[in-house]
Amino acid sequence: MSKAGVIGGAFAVLILGLLFYLSMGFSQHTCEVCMEFKGRTKCRTASGADRQTAVNAARDNACAFLISSKTDGFLCSQTPSAKVTCDEP
């Protein structure tokens, strides 16, 4: 095997290890948010470095399933959540 191949393989393993480490270390809070919008309900789960980040990500994800326009997206994101459940670290 060539020297470049060995260096490239080692670099790839290093990058994969770094991605694994970062994904495990920062997802400390996990929240499930249920949104009701225009008669439909969708619940989604997300993780984040803090509770608010996890709630916002789950809310935005749930709204993405419920909307059909940019205006709906804005309105859904301003709608209070029907249910929020978070697991503390």
Look at the alpha carbons of 10, 15, 16, 21 in this order and tell me if their dihedral is positive or negative.
positive
Which residue spans within the chain are E strands per DSSP?
Answer: 29-37, 40-48, 83-87
In tens digits, the chain (89 residues) has pLDDT values of: 788 777 767 777 777 766 666 666 655 899 999 999 999 999 999 998 899 999 999 999 999 999 999 999 999 999 999 999 998 77
Helix (H, G, I), strand (E, B) or coil at 28: coil
Q: What are phi and psi of 30, to 5 degrees?
A: -125, 130
Residue ranges per structural domain of the chain: 3-87
| pTM score | 0.69
CA distance 28 to 73: 27
